[in-house]
Chains A and B, each alone.
Chain A
Amino acid sequence: MTDDKARYQPSDEVDFVIIGSGAAGGILAKELSTNGFRVVVLEQGPYLTESDFSHDEIKILQEDLLTNHPKLQPNTFRKTPDEKAKPQRVLVYGRAVGGTSNHFTANFWRFHEIDFVERSKVGPIPGSTLVDWPITYADLEPYYTKVEWEVGVSGLEGASPFDPPRSKPYPMPPLPTKSNGVLFERAARKLGLHPFPAPMAILSQPRAGRSACVNCGFCLGFGCEVKAKSSSLASMIPLAEKTGRCEIRPNSYVHKIEIDSRGRAVGAVYFDSKKNVHLQKAKAVIVSANGAETPRLLLLSASKKFPDGLANSNGVVGRNLMLNSGGISLGVFDEQLNDYKGFAVSRILHDFYELDPQKVGFYGGGGLDARFDMTPVNFAAGAGLPPNTPRWGKKFKDAIAHNFTRTVEIFSHGTSLPKEDNSFSLDPDLKDAWGLPALRMTYKDHPDDIKLAKWLNEYGLQILDAAGAKQKWTYPIEEQQFAVHLLGTCRMGADPKTSVINSDHRTHDVKNLFLCDGSSFVTSGRGQPTLTIEALAFRAADRITALAKRGEISA
């Protein structure tokens, strides 16, 4: 914290206003301010720091310290466009400086080559709008490396035979192996599979004034008190502020991108914490508000010139939503595993990254990890206990006393097929606490996503079996109605008819409007999107810098 942090007036026309300070916004802010541009970041949530974080589950689960507020920002849900949507909480995302990177699990898998060219490889899939990316793995590889070295990722190069090529090893070794990692590794090898140390965006060694992980155990859902988790807050935001050219402005809820008579963005209109309205002027606008709020903001910015929403002349904004399919199987062991200590994941496997549709009868692929990511209250309230465990009384107490230190989760993560009707849009009736139309989710999994989730989950049970679980069960695989990974809703593409942004992240319709976050995705990958969001952000910063330096943005 220095005194020479940049401060701008809304009336100052800065070079870039960035909406959102999370995985993508934090990187864009750091890169663009480092490149000499004047930047204002508008973040709807508060500016918390490590000393505000805590292990208080009530603060996290009930008071939404780090995340969107379901009461202030209600949602609606429907399965198909012909239904009337009903109020229902549909998503959770980070709502604080640092965004979702504050509280994520920090699984940092790269996409593989296949993820960018899958449509060409597998052909058309009925009921899906699957297409190739306009960029390839090779285009993004330098940026994956950049993320790993700049934010700090632990991992072991060459440990997985399925890994795509990389130009540089990880900057630091993997985190310690947990007991569930040992158990997963032994069982998976028994089954002929290839488990390997999980790449994690958590420091295994001190780095850049940040601590290594101290294994506190409150990781998924919680902010890191020692800056070991490589959030934008810990890694990027301080560097952006240090340039003296970047202002992070919290409690600033953007609800409109202002457009001039030429159809150019002139800035972002936002509510401050007192609900006063301001226009932050800028030469260009970058929206990194996540795969739900980015399309919502474009739709909220409808005007005479853009009656269906900004950058939405083709009606694609908000569509092709992908959530990643997956499931959870659980087991209880005799051994004292104590996996409540430490980060969530230490072993994963990618043997099923590319399943053969001819063999399995459906399209898709994914990965598995062993973890324990439940905090005590969440575990005992029901999330961690076998079905039919008494819910109160002595037997309930005995179950939590025995199982808490002996339970393992096997998570499966997989592809999600894009469908035109799966979308985020504006609810026609329900309003949020600021009087803005609520976010409406329309979603029904592609049948192949369900088949994949079941297939992977079965494998999770097999691994638990091979590992000697005394008891095992699985959460039912049901059609998803709750979103954490928010992908594909303003997708990138060469064809302006079927995509929202080009490969420079510039919207096809508005020359000085850029979008970069999970909404930019064309395919879903195999379930761990953040590293790819961040690689796209580093790449977008390069592209946008080049355009700006050539005078091709504001001219």
Chain B
Amino acid sequence: MPDTDRSSSNPFDRRTFLTRTAAGLSAAWLTSQWPAMVSAATHAHSAVANPAAAKFEFFKPEEAAEVEAIASRIIPSDETPGAKEAGVVYFIDRALVTFASDSQSAYREGLEEIRTILAEKFPGATKFSSAPPEQQDAVLEALSSDNQHMTASRRNRPNSPSQPFFETIRYHTIAGFLIDPDSGRRGNKDGVGWKVIGRENSHIFQAPFGDLDKNYPGWQPVDSEKK
């Protein structure tokens, strides 16, 4: 029963937002909004240090290299960080011994399938991770071509072991890139994924939030506001 399993001592599940007290917010605002905040904010910053040691819990090193190479084509590194810099492979490795443990065989079979496609398309090639990017993309095109119909859903649970492997690794790559860096899941290392999409890494924000509410005078009734 997941219900009774509340003993997790993972410090990152806890109120790590306390350590994210947002430089730049006025102390007066914080005090007025959240009286508990100011004292809580003195709570140690130490909990944030990412313990992601370069150690794998599920993958063999050669499998990890293949997974990292695939993830790097899904979210490539260019002028900005990609899946590699975000440590996606470590996220996936942990996923496969935690919430996605029922996808273990999908990964083993999927990596095999990728090797097969690679060898068929490019005779002599054996490792995805050693292939040039154009060949890697061609393999992933072939792997994902059947999945174009898979459209957006607001309530998607894209982690079913029965779905095509590409969908599983795609979802895991995205999750590993954009998960809350404080979640303790070894993804989004140093918040680089959030930097790429423009999300500030803070648990607290103060209005104005964006370009349009910056100089907005506030709601005013208009004369025509009569039924």
Which A residues fall within an 8 A CB radius of B? 45-46, 48, 50-52, 54-59, 61-64, 69-70, 89, 92, 156, 159, 161-162, 174, 176-183, 185, 189, 192, 194, 196-197, 206, 211-218, 225-226, 250-251, 273, 328, 335-342, 374, 376-378, 380-385, 387, 391-394, 396-397, 400-401, 404-405, 475, 482
Residue of B nearest to A70 (CB): B157
Residue B132 at the chain A interface, CB threshold 8 Å: no
Chain B contacts of A162 at CB under 8 A? 227
- Alpha-carbon gap, A206 to B66, bound state (A): 51
Q: Which are the 6 A-B pairs with shortest beta-carbon distances?
A: A179-B210, A176-B207, A382-B152, A338-B210, A56-B183, A179-B212
- Alpha-carbon gap, A319 to B212, bound state (A): 46
- Alpha-carbon gap, A384 to B151, bound state (A): 11
Instruction: Give, as a whole number of angstroms, the nearest-CB distance from A275 to chain B.
Output: 8
Q: Kindly identify, within residues 146 to 197 of chain B, every residue whose CB is under 8 Å from any CB belonging to chain A.
A: 147-148, 150-159, 170-171, 174-175, 177-180, 182-185, 193-194, 196-197
Q: Do A185 and B33 contact each other (CB < 8 Å), given the known contacts A46-B6, A214-B203? A: no
- Alpha-carbon gap, A216 to B170, bound state (A): 27
| Structural contact, B174 and A380, CB atoms closer than 8 A | yes
Residue of B nearest to A159 (CB): B219
Q: Do A380 and B212 contact each other (CB < 8 Å), given the known contacts A61-B157, A215-B206, A215-B207? A: no
- Alpha-carbon gap, A382 to B171, bound state (A): 9
| Structural contact, A378 and B198, CB atoms closer than 8 A | no
The contact string, 1 if C-beta is below 8 Å from chain A, for chain B 7-21, is 000000111010000
Chain B contacts of A401 at CB under 8 A? 80, 196-198
| Structural contact, B73 and A337, CB atoms closer than 8 A | no
Residue of B nearest to A192 (CB): B224
Q: A176-B213, A214-B203, A336-B198 are in contact. List 8 more A-B contacts (CB 8 A).
A: A63-B2, A177-B218, A180-B212, A189-B222, A216-B17, A387-B151, A392-B75, A396-B75
Chain B contacts of A404 at CB under 8 A? 197-199
Instruction: Give, as a whole number of angstroms, the nearest-CB distance from A277 to chain B.
Output: 15
| Structural contact, A183 and B198, CB atoms closer than 8 A | no
Which B residues fall within an 8 A CB radius of A? 1-4, 6, 13-15, 17, 32-37, 73-76, 78, 80, 82, 95, 99-100, 137, 140, 144, 147-148, 150-159, 170-171, 174-175, 177-180, 182-185, 193-194, 196-200, 203-213, 216, 218-219, 221-222, 224-227
Chain A contacts of B216 at CB under 8 A? 177, 182
Chain A contacts of B35 at CB under 8 A? 206, 211
Chain A contacts of B4 at CB under 8 A? 46, 251, 273
Q: SS class of chain A's interface: helix, strand, loop or mixed? A: loop
Chain B contacts of A385 at CB under 8 A? 152
Residue of B nearest to A95 (CB): B3
- Alpha-carbon gap, A189 to B225, bound state (A): 10
User: Most B CB atoms within 10 A — which of A196, A337, A339, A340?
Assistant: A340
User: Most B CB atoms within 10 A — which of A196, A226, A339?
Assistant: A226
Residue of B nearest to A182 (CB): B212
Instruction: Give, as a whole number of angstroms, the nearest-CB distance from B38 to chain A.
Output: 12
Q: Do A376 and B209 contact each other (CB < 8 Å), given the known contacts A54-B180, A393-B137? A: no
Instruction: Give, as a whole number of angstroms, the nearest-CB distance from B73 to chain A.
Output: 7
Instruction: Give, as a whole number of angstroms, the nearest-CB distance from A382 to chain B.
Output: 4
| Structural contact, A400 and B197, CB atoms closer than 8 A | yes
CB < 8 Å: which of A56, A226, A381 contacts B158? A381
Q: Do A391 and B144 contact each other (CB < 8 Å), given the known contacts A52-B6, A214-B204? A: yes
Q: Do A342 and B185 contact each other (CB < 8 Å), given the known contacts A58-B99, A63-B2? A: no
| Structural contact, B225 and A194, CB atoms closer than 8 A | yes
| Pairs across A and B, CB under 8 Å, 15 listed | A57-B179, A58-B185, A161-B227, A211-B37, A212-B32, A212-B34, A250-B3, A341-B210, A381-B175, A383-B153, A387-B151, A392-B73, A397-B82, A405-B197, A482-B155
Chain A contacts of B144 at CB under 8 A? 391-392
Instruction: Give, as a whole number of angstroms, the nearest-CB distance from B205 to chain A.
Output: 4
| Structural contact, B152 and A63, CB atoms closer than 8 A | no
User: Most A CB atoms within 10 A — which of B148, B158, B180?
Assistant: B180
Instruction: Give, as a whole number of angstroms, the nearest-CB distance from A401 to chain B.
Output: 5
Instruction: Give, as a whole number of angstroms, the nearest-CB distance from A194 to chain B.
Output: 6
| Structural contact, A340 and B199, CB atoms closer than 8 A | yes
Q: Do A179 and B34 contact each other (CB < 8 Å), given the known contacts A56-B179, A174-B219, A376-B199? A: no
Chain B contacts of A206 at CB under 8 A? 32-35
Chain A contacts of B73 at CB under 8 A? 392-393
Chain A contacts of B219 at CB under 8 A? 156, 159, 174, 177, 185, 196-197
Instruction: Give, as a whole number of angstroms, the nearest-CB distance from A69 to chain B.
Output: 7
| Structural contact, B170 and A376, CB atoms closer than 8 A | no
CB < 8 Å: which of B153, B155, B213 contacts A181? B213
Q: Do A376 and B212 contact each other (CB < 8 Å), given the known contacts A56-B180, A273-B3, A383-B154? A: no
| Structural contact, B14 and A51, CB atoms closer than 8 A | yes
CB < 8 Å: which of A55, A218, A337, A387 contacts B212? A337
- Alpha-carbon gap, A295 to B47, bound state (A): 46
Chain A contacts of B227 at CB under 8 A? 161-162
Q: Do A383 and B213 contact each other (CB < 8 Å), given the known contacts A46-B3, A215-B206, A404-B197? A: no
Residue of B nearest to A380 (CB): B174
- Alpha-carbon gap, A380 to B86, bound state (A): 15
Residue of B nearest to A186 (CB): B212
| Structural contact, B13 and A56, CB atoms closer than 8 A | yes
Instruction: Give, as a whole number of angstroms, the nearest-CB distance from B80 to chain A.
Output: 7
Chain A contacts of B182 at CB under 8 A? 55
Residue of A nearest to B20 (CB): A216
| Structural contact, B156 and A383, CB atoms closer than 8 A | yes
CB < 8 Å: which of B80, B205, B225 contacts A342? B205
Q: Do A214 and B34 contact each other (CB < 8 Å), given the known contacts A179-B213, A273-B4, A397-B82? A: yes
CB < 8 Å: which of A63, A182, A376, A381 contacts B156? A381
Chain B contacts of A180 at CB under 8 A? 212
User: Most B CB atoms within 10 A — which of A69, A211, A213, A380?
Assistant: A380
Chain A contacts of B152 at CB under 8 A? 381-385, 387, 475
Chain B contacts of A475 at CB under 8 A? 152, 154
Q: Do A216 and B205 contact each other (CB < 8 Å), given the known contacts A336-B210, A387-B151, A397-B75? A: yes
| Structural contact, B204 and A382, CB atoms closer than 8 A | no
Chain A contacts of B193 at CB under 8 A? 376
Residue of A nearest to B207 (CB): A176
Residue of B nearest to A389 (CB): B152
User: Most A CB atoms within 10 A — which of B13, B78, B144, B212?
Assistant: B212
Q: Do A58 and B179 contact each other (CB < 8 Å), given the known contacts A183-B212, A336-B210, A339-B210? A: yes
